[in-house]
Amino acid sequence: MTQLGRIGWASRFGTWGVRRFKDVLARWPGELERWYQFSGERQRGRARARLADAGYRAARD
């Protein structure tokens, strides 16, 4: 999500929007965990992309 997207999310749903979103997900077993997994994968992907843009490469085992 771009910075503009984050600003749009906050302006549309307010500061408690993310909390409400997670509260809704928590109503169904496993959905909140799936959200955390998805969110974590996206964060790691963005971090890898930034590091690659900066010239870093993953070490091979």
Its domain, for residue 35, covers: 19-53
Determine, yes or no, domain membership for 47.
yes
Look up residue 15 and give its two tokens.
Answer: 């500061």
State the total domains in the chain. Answer: 1
Look up residue 47 and give its two tokens.
Answer: 């971090």
Report how far residue 12's alpha carbon sits from residue 47's, in angstroms, rounded to the nearest whole number: 26
Position 58 scores a pLDDT of: 74
For every one of its 61 residues, what pLDDT tens digit does the chain have, with 9 covering 90 and above?
A: 444 455 565 666 666 777 888 888 889 889 989 989 998 999 999 999 999 999 998 776 5
CA torsion 30-34-37-39 (nearest 10°) is: -130
The model carries a pTM of 0.62
Largest separation between any pair of C-alpha atoms in the chain = 45
Determine, yes or no, domain membership for 48.
yes
Position 42 scores a pLDDT of: 92
Position 37 scores a pLDDT of: 93
Determine, yes or no, domain membership for 13.
no
Determine, yes or no, domain membership for 60.
no
